[in-house]
């Protein structure tokens, strides 16, 4: 499908969804438009599909749901999924069935490959981002209009900043490996003490991408759509590394943690010397909840931390578009972003400018950024990893 066809499909989808939402004419003021959205949202129920693998995030969303109900009369239901690709498949099935209204999904938490897939298949409502009253508070110096090098085109609103970092206990490992080659040497010196989540789990795939970037000195091919000609040559150092690493990894590389929560548990139990997370402040919330020792600390490799923005979007056929707009706008408010960034609650780095934040959210730590590869590399890496090591 060429870009002209894609754009026309998105525009026709937008025309349909705008009509179904019955927003006022563009000649009216933005305030009047938003008042109309608030009125339509009253009494709606929003089904928000989002990863459910973190107690801290789940508790935060429970709080957000109570606030959205209290302030706007909108019921906010967190539908927990293990991989948002499951939601993408559901939306594709609804598209194929011609279900262009009354869809089962009202909001999604996405980025990267999942966003590109939904965008390419015209599964998203919008553009809507610049119509949100709280858009004014977003830090525009962040890459909030691009997702893994794919332009967002106003189809998803930035929600937070993610960075791939490691957690260690300073009591047992005071000088952690600062590069992936040091990590391999450490694993050989101390077998059965390092691992990573099993791809295609998000943190496992992120580990593969971060490792590949360092091993290839960020090969320029990684910023372009993957090709069969490039893939084998560019990724060979990755497979050579993993072949060596798995021999000395936790459980001999025959079993892998299910996700970041399990690596944190294994670190706390003393089975692993490093846990992995995509939130540089997750260590603080884990300490506050008693899941990690106060002597634990997060760090990034010397080369930097794989970084991206994560986003909120609305499917083209959402049943509660107005409610979803209200919910997203609330989640971008200084109140919600300050609570989300509180290191004792979630600690997710905010997308708002610092002057709009209160408490620890205004001081959350971030590391030197390493850009994500083109989203097409993700699926290719996952498939090859599963072929080599998935059994």
Q: What is the DSSP string of 327-345?
A: HHHHHTSHHHHHHHH-TTT
pLDDT at 7 over 60: no
Question: Same structural domain for residues 13 and 113?
Answer: yes
Tell me, yes or no, if the pTM score tops 0.85: no
CA-only gyration radius of the chain, Å: 21
Three-state SS at 163: strand
Question: Same structural domain for residues 377 and 341?
Answer: no
pLDDT-wise least confident of 106-110, 319-323, 345-349: 345-349
> Which residues lie across from 295 on neighbouring strands?
none
Distance CA 380, CA 331 (A): 33
pLDDT of residue 117: 94
Question: Same structural domain for residues 343 and 278?
Answer: no
Distance CA 350, CA 106 (A): 23
Distance CA 80, CA 54 (A): 10
Distance CA 208, CA 378 (A): 9
pLDDT at 278 over 60: yes
Q: In the numeric block, which tokens belong to residue 52? A: 């459910």
Question: Same structural domain for residues 109 and 198?
Answer: no
pLDDT at 41 over 80: yes
Distance CA 323, CA 40 (A): 8
Give the model's confidence band at 232: pLDDT under 50 very low, under 70 low, under 90 confident, else very high: very high
Question: Same structural domain for residues 71 and 153?
Answer: yes
pLDDT at 95 over 80: yes
CA dihedral (338, 342, 346, 349) in degrees, to 10, reads: 70
| Upstream peptide bond of 232 is cis (omega within 30 degrees of 0) | no
pLDDT of residue 32: 77
Distance CA 158, CA 138 (A): 8
Instruction: Give the relative orientation of helices 113-120 and 85-96 as an angle to the nearest 10 degrees.
Output: 10
CA dihedral (385, 276, 49, 358) in degrees, to 10, reads: -150
Question: Same structural domain for residues 333 and 383?
Answer: no
Question: Same structural domain for residues 179 and 299?
Answer: yes
Which residue's entry shows tokens 């209290």?
Answer: 70
pLDDT of residue 149: 83
In order of 7, 84, 103, 360, the CA distances from 153 in angstroms are 10, 20, 22, 31
Question: Same structural domain for residues 173 and 296?
Answer: yes
Neighbours of 100 (CB within 10 A): 14
Q: What is the 3-state secondary structure (H, E, C) of 51-94?
A: ECCCHHHHHHHHHHHHHHHHHHCCEEEEEEECCCHHHHHHHHHH
Question: Same structural domain for residues 117 and 184?
Answer: no
Distance CA 91, CA 101 (A): 11
Q: What is the tally of structural domains in the chain?
A: 2
pLDDT at 338 over 70: yes
Question: Same structural domain for residues 217 and 314?
Answer: no
Share of residues in the chain with pLDDT > 70 (%): 92
> Which residues lie across from 160 on neighbouring strands?
310
Question: Same structural domain for residues 155 and 255?
Answer: no
Using alpha carbons only, what angle is made at residue 69 by residues 132 and 318, rounded to the nearest 5 degrees? 55
Question: Same structural domain for residues 232 and 317?
Answer: no
Q: What is the CATH number of the domain that holds 11?
A: 3.40.190.10
> Which residues lie across from 156 on neighbouring strands?
313
Distance CA 188, CA 185 (A): 5
Range of the domain at 326: 3-159+309-363
pLDDT at 340 over 60: yes
Q: In the numeric block, which tokens belong to residue 34? A: 């938003």
CA 293 from centroid of its chain's CA atoms: 26
């Amino acid at each position: 499908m060429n870009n002209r066809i894609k754009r026309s499909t998105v525009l026709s989808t937008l025309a349909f969804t705008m009509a179904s939402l019955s927003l006022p004419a563009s000649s009216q003021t933005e305030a009047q438009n938003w008042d109309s959205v608030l009125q339509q949202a009253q009494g709606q129920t929003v089904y928000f599909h989002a990863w459910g693998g973190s107690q801290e995030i789940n508790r935060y969303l429970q709080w957000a749901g109570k606030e959205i109900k209290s302030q706007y009369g909108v019921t906010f239901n967190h539908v927990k999924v293990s991989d948002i690709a499951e939601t993408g498949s559901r939306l594709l099935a609804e598209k194929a069935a011609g279900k262009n209204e009354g869809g089962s999904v009202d909001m999604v938490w996405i980025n990267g490959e999942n966003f590109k897939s939904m965008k390419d298949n015209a599964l998203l409502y919008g553009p809507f981002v610049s119509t949100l009253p709280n858009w004014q508070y977003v830090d525009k110096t962040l890459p909030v209009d691009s997702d893994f090098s794919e332009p967002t085109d106003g189809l998803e609103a930035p929600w937070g900043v993610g960075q791939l970092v490691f957690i260690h206990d300073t009591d047992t490992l005071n000088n952690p490996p600062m590069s992936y080659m040091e990590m391999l040497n450490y694993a050989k010196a101390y077998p059965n003490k390092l691992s990573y989540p099993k791809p295609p789990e998000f943190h496992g795939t992120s580990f593969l991408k971060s490792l590949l970037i360092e091993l290839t000195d960020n090969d320029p091919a990684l910023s372009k759509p993957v090709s069969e000609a490039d893939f084998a040559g560019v990724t060979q150092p990755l497979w050579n590394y993993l072949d060596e690493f798995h021999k000395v990894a936790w459980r001999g590389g025959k079993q892998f943690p299910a996700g970041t929560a399990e690596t944190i548990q294994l670190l706390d139990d003393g089975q692993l010397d490093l846990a992995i997370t995509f939130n540089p402040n997750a260590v603080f919330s884990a300490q506050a909840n008693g899941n990690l020792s106060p002597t634990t600390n997060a760090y990034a490799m010397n080369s930097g931390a794989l970084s991206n923005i994560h986003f909120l979007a609305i499917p083209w056929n959402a049943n509660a578009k107005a409610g979803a707009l209200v919910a997203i706008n609330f989640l971008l408010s200084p109140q919600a972003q300050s609570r989300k960034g509180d290191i004792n609650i979630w600690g997710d780095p905010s997308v708002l400018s610092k002057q709009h934040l209160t408490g620890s959210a205004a001081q959350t730590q971030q590391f030197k950024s390493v850009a994500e590869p083109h989203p097409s590399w993700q699926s290719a890496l996952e498939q090859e990893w599963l072929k080599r090591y998935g059994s």
